[in-house]
Amino acid sequence: MTEEKLTTFAELALDPAIHRVIDEIGYETPSPIQARSIPPLLEGRDLLGQAQTGTGKTAAFALPLLSRLNLKKKKPQILVLTPTRELALQVSEAIRTYARHLPGFQVLPVYGGQSMSQQLRQLHRGVHAVVGTPGRIQDHLRRGTLNLKELACVVLDEADEMLRMGFVDDVEQILKDTPADRQTALFSATMPKEVLRIARRHMKDPLEIHIKAKTATVDTIVQRFWQVKGLHKLDALTRILEAEEIEGMLVFVRTKIATVELSEKLESRGFSCAPLNGDMTQALREKAVERLKKGSLDIVVATDVAARGLDVKRISHVVNYDIPYDTEAYVHRIGRTGRAGRVGQAILFVAPRERRMLAAIERATRQPITAMSLPSRKDISNRRADLFKEQIAEAMESQELEFFEELIDSYQHQYDVGLRRIAATLAYLVQKDKPLQIDEGVFEEVVAPTKESAYSRRNQGSSDTQLTRYRIEVGRAHGVEPKHIVGAIANEANINSRDIGQIKIHNDHCLVDLPKNMPSATFRQLQKVWVCGQQLQISPADEQFPTKTDSSKYKNAPRNGSRKYFKPGGKKPPRSRPPRPQSS
Q: Where are the domains of the chain?
A: 9-210, 221-371, 377-431, 454-546+557-566
CATH T-level assignment (fold) for domain 454-546+557-566: Alpha-Beta Plaits (3.30.70)
The predicted-structure confidence for 291-318, as pLDDT tens digits, reads as follows 998 888 999 999 887 777 677 888 999 9
Strand pairing report for 564-566 and 503-505: antiparallel
Q: How far apart are CA 435 and CA 334, in angstroms?
A: 33
Q: What average pLDDT does the chain have?
A: 80
Q: Is the pLDDT score of 44 beyond 60?
A: yes
More reliable by pLDDT, 220 or 149: 149
Q: How far apart are CA 494 and CA 489, in angstroms?
A: 7
Chain centroid, CA 129 distance in Å: 23
* Angle, in degrees to the nearest 10, between helices 85-98 and 16-25: 110
So what's the architecture of 9-210 in CATH? 3-Layer(aba) Sandwich (3.40)
Q: Which CATH class is domain 221-371?
A: alpha beta
* Angle, in degrees to the nearest 10, between helices 377-398 and 233-243: 40
The predicted-structure confidence for 74-103, as pLDDT tens digits, reads as follows 999 999 999 888 888 889 988 998 999 999
Helix (H, G, I), strand (E, B) or coil at 510: strand
Q: Residue 482's CB: how many other CB atoms inside 10 A?
A: 24
Q: How far apart are CA 527 and CA 474, in angstroms?
A: 12
* Angle, in degrees to the nearest 10, between helices 402-415 and 419-431: 120
Q: How far apart are the first and last CA of the chain?
A: 82
Contact assessment for residue 381 and residue 437, using Cβ atoms and an 8 Å cutoff: yes
More reliable by pLDDT, 10 or 577: 10
Element (H, E) at 469: strand 467-472
Q: Is the pLDDT score of 462 beyond 70?
A: no
The predicted-structure confidence for 499-524, as pLDDT tens digits, reads as follows 788 888 888 889 998 988 788 878 88
Q: How far is CA 223 from CA 298, 305, 319, 400, 464, in A?
A: 20, 22, 10, 45, 41
More reliable by pLDDT, 280 or 43: 43
Can 9-210 and 454-546+557-566 be said to share one CATH topology? no
pLDDT of residue 309: 67
**Cβ partners under 8 Å of residue 140, min gap 6:** 110, 119, 123, 146
Q: How far apart are CA 574 and CA 336, in angstroms?
A: 51
Element (H, E) at 365: helix 355-365
Q: Is the pLDDT score of 153 beyond 80?
A: yes
The sign of the CA dihedral 230, 234, 235, 239 is positive
The phi and psi torsions of 511 (rounded to 5 degrees) equal -110, 135
Contact assessment for residue 91 and residue 82, using Cβ atoms and an 8 Å cutoff: yes
**Cβ partners under 8 Å of residue 20, min gap 6:** 101
pLDDT of residue 528: 79
Contact assessment for residue 501 and residue 514, using Cβ atoms and an 8 Å cutoff: yes
pLDDT of residue 114: 75
pLDDT of residue 570: 42
Over range 45-60, report the average pLDDT: 86
pLDDT confidence band for 63 (50 / 70 / 90): very high
Mean pLDDT is highest, among 99-108, 217-226, 297-306, 351-360, for: 99-108
Q: How far is CA 465 from CA 165, 269, 515, in A?
A: 50, 19, 6
pTM of the model: 0.51
pLDDT of residue 248: 92
Over range 239-258, report the average pLDDT: 88
* Angle, in degrees to the nearest 10, between helices 377-398 and 419-431: 110
pLDDT of residue 216: 54
pLDDT of residue 382: 73
How big is the chain, counted in residues? 584
Q: Which amino acid is at 6?
A: L
The predicted-structure confidence for 395-439, as pLDDT tens digits, reads as follows 888 888 889 888 988 888 888 888 888 888 888 888 776 666 665
The predicted-structure confidence for 546-568, as pLDDT tens digits, reads as follows 443 343 333 343 333 333 333 33
